[in-house]
Every structure is written in C-alpha cells, then in structure tokens.
Structure 1
C-alpha cells in the first residue's frame, strides 16, 4: 500500500493519506493506491465499483458499468468525493482507475453526466480527455439545474 505523495499529504493537513487496495493492483493518479470495490459490492466483468480510502475510511466512490444497449460503451455513475477530502487526488485516482478498467475491458468510449455548474468536476473530466456530448438537459423534470453529457473516446489510435 502506497501513501499519497508528499505534496498531497501536506495538503491533507499532514495526515498520511492512503487509498486502500481492495482488488486488482492498479495505482491511481499521483501514485495513490485505489480501492477497487467494496466488500458488499457485487462485481462482474460488466461493472466496476470503486472506492477511494484514506487511512481506512472511505472518502470517495465511483461506479463504471457497461451500457445495456451498447456493449462498447461504459457509463461512469456516482462519482463522488467527500468535501473534506477534495483536492488531494482521490477524484483523479478514481477516474483513472475507471478509464483504465474500461480500456482493458474493451470499451471504445466512456460517458458520464455532470452538473453544468460544477466547474471543478468539468475541469477534471476535461483534463482526462472528456468532451461535451450533445446539449445540456434538465437533471429531472421541473429542476432548473442542467446536466451535461461528456464522452471520452477510448478507441486505440490507428
């Protein structure tokens, strides 16, 4: 198990942060270890629940799953990091692990939805190569908030 890099640990208020390894053996962004599942989660070759942990406490999660209608598309759902743990690389580590799993599983694209006003999340996804896909749409009927679909091309370069 590897600790967060010194700069990230310093930003975490001196805490020795960790992202615990549940399964697999992959490192997330910035060299962090990334939890690849929960004890209660059911995984298959069609989905991958991800949990970021610092010092044994869950601080973030994401769920990547193949689209039911398109076997070459992976959807990223429930990407979340606890407010007190933001800014320390957990979101980037979760995203990298999800993208790496999708590529290794043969997906050609990954898509997600993000609130249009969530500039921090949008920048994270854009840095990873995601681009707007279509026009923004209401989060749900009667809700003024808008969601933007974003997509990442995973096809190998030719």
Structure 2
C-alpha cells in the first residue's frame, strides 16, 4: 500500500501541470435582435472554465450584461476544436446556452413604445451559436484571446428568427 502512495505522490505534480484546466475572465459586447443588422451592443463580462485534452476544449461559463436583461446573465456549455501552432491556439466550436439577455433592436417609427419589451417577451431563453477565437494565444500557463466572434440564434419560437452576435474584446486565462 505504501508503494502506491509514493507513486501517486510522485505523479500528482506532473498530472496537475498537464491537467488542461483553464479559468478565464474577459469583456465583450453583446447583442440580440430581430433580423435588423443595426444591433444595439451592450458591454458585459464573462467568466469561463475549460478542460482541454488533445485538440478538444470542453467547458462552460457565465456572462453578465451591464446594459439590462432579466436576469442580466447567461450560462452556457461549449465544445471547441483547437490547433496547437506554437503560441497560437485558435479555437472554434458550438455553444449551447440559456440567456436572460433577450432584447430586440429599435422599432421602426410608428410602433407603440412597449414594442421592444413585448416582442422580446416572445422569445425563449435557449440559444445555439458558433464561437470562434481566431486570435487566441498561450504563453506558458497564461492564455490571451481577442476579437472572439460568437454568432448564433435563439431556439424559440423559431430558430433563425433572432440573431445573436457577441464580440469578445479580451479574454485572459490561466492554466491550473
């Protein structure tokens, strides 16, 4: 029994260094809207966790919106395919989540004042998206990513009826 304990004690530091667990924080601009491309962008923050093995990253996180929403947050799960090319580590993959950030872009003139809130109430919280981080870099235990693009749609009432866009300004992480 003592031999197993010594083996585990010898292997644990190496396993922890190669564990692939990453925690990150970042800032982004969020937008959801109808089919209009004149989207109202709102700033927010993101806290994420990812586990990387081989070329896959599996994880999830929480986003907080500073510009409204009820509740003003999202929770999501994500799977990404990554490439290891020196310090450059681009990643892309699907994301599935629940969002309280459902808002509708400005109404054309002539609509009632409560048009945006009434229309936003018609949409469900579930969404699906593609998340791409083409400018993601790793420097030792630290990672940095900028200009991440998140593009998707709410799933109800009809997929494709509402556009979701997010631009990740800066995401900084540490490998545990």
Q: What TM-score does the superposition give when structure 1 sets the normalisation length?
A: 0.29
Q: What TM-score does the superposition give when structure 2 sets the normalisation length?
A: 0.27
Larger radius of gyration: 2
| Structure whose residues are more often helix by fraction | 1
